Amino acid sequence: MIEKVYESGRGIFHLAPAWVPRAFCRPGKRIKLHPDDYYILGLERGGIDERWFASTTHAYNGPNTPDDEGLSYVVDPNTGEKFLLKDAINFLGAKAVGDEIWQKYKAWPMYSKFFDNAGPLPHHVHHNDQFAGRVGQSGKPEMYFFPSQVNNHGGEFPFTFFGIDSQHTKEDVKQALMNFNKGDNLLLDLAAAYKLTLDTGWDVPPGVLHAPGSLCTYEPQFASDVYAMYQSVLYGGHCVSEDLLWNCCPKDEIGNYEYLIDVLDWELNTDKEFMKNRFMIPITATSAPEYLDEWICYKSDVVCAKRLTIYPNQTVTFKDDAAYGMICLQGHGSLEGYKLETPTLIRYGQVTNDEFFVTYEAAKNGVSITNQSDSEDIVILKHYAVNNNLLKSMQNARRK
């Protein structure tokens, strides 16, 4: 079936939405899921506030997590049957992701998602390879971008805290962590906040504390779900359970606050030029009368993303040096024989026509997209695992 769908789709896979609930989050309701379906999985699982794209990564949400939560399914355009994108990539190997990525990872090593929370998240950290490896996971670099198309409102707190102010010490942070169960541990008193601006983004390497604000966020990231929450009480009085402080911590380190400090990349957290080094605005990659192709996430050497805008009544063919997942934010048309359209409202379990995975061979050969509107742009976000060609392209764009 995988081979048949690969051939008939000319190397492009149509993906069904992958919805993910989080028990510690409250849905911002901007990801187009039907209002009746945000808690369709039950209150004990939490509200759905994430949609994962081109994912071969399992979302771990505790012992009741289904085996396929977070995993993207490919839809056979002829029969409607489904199979996991993970299985397709394992079967196709380098034909799907390219020799360089396959030789390095033997997998598709990234995914992206919409994170859509009504309020801010706790100041938390994603572990690097060293610390994630101790619990059998990979480190997690990630990036943020705040698309206008999914942010008709800013939520309760559209500001994000990053890192630790350089005037503070590791001992200050340790004391805050030791106060986790005494109410608000005041960790945010040690950090700086930044106002979030639509259509801009941030680079968040592993080991950097961050308390994401309440904008709906597009997040390209490495294929991992490793994290620990270091803040105890959120804006609005919402509490974080202590088990999340020790999440992804080896059993023999639980209770060791020095270990939690070691997880932090202190140099990055206390960088006095954090905004200069981590903030991103779109950079033009290429442009023509028919389209605009921009880098939107480009400061990581592991994952990256672009925004492609195709103007009304235009047809363009794009060749890429890497496989990618894509989500259509705006407009309608066609993509290599597939319907391409942005849904207004999605029922849980419904298949949409806004998400695809373009394999390496298809990307190299070129993908033709037609905007069938005479008034509205097509806007697509594309997420990649970085290979040498993409790295050079990003570096050249940044120099310009």
pLDDT value of position 235: 85
pLDDT value of position 400: 77
pLDDT value of position 234: 87
**Confidence check: pLDDT of 63 > 80:** no
Per residue in 239-254, pLDDT (tens digit) is: 989 999 999 999 999 9
Q: Give the pLDDT band (50/70/90) at residue 62.
A: confident
On average, the pLDDT of the chain sits at 96
Mean pLDDT of 319-326: 96
Helix (H, G, I), strand (E, B) or coil at 110: strand
Burial class from Cβ neighbours inside 10 Å (0-12, 13-18, 19+) for residue 128 reads: buried
On the CB side of 111, CA atoms within 13 Å amount to 26
State the Cα–Cα distance between residues 52 and 48, nearest whole angstrom.
11
Mean pLDDT of 215-231: 95
Per residue in 139-166, pLDDT (tens digit) is: 999 999 999 999 999 999 999 999 999 9
Are 54 and 40 within 8 A, CB to CB? no
Per residue in 165-218, pLDDT (tens digit) is: 999 999 999 999 999 999 999 999 999 999 999 999 999 999 999 999 999 999
pLDDT value of position 208: 98
Q: Give the pLDDT band (50/70/90) at residue 84.
A: very high
Closest CA to 389 of 335, 339, 333, 319: 319
Which of 109-113, 223-227, 285-289 has the lowest average pLDDT?
223-227
Helix (H, G, I), strand (E, B) or coil at 16: strand
Class of domain 282-347+358-399 (CATH, top level) = mainly beta
DSSP letters spanning 234-283: -TTS-B--GGGTTTT--GGGTT-HHHHHHHS-HHHHT-TTHHHHHEE--E
What is the share, in percent, of the chain residues with pLDDT greater than 70?
A: 100
**Confidence check: pLDDT of 21 > 90:** yes
Are 23 and 46 within 8 A, CB to CB? yes
pLDDT value of position 236: 81
Q: Give the pLDDT band (50/70/90) at residue 57.
A: very high
pLDDT value of position 370: 98
Mean pLDDT of 38-44: 92
pLDDT value of position 102: 98
pTM of this structure:
0.95
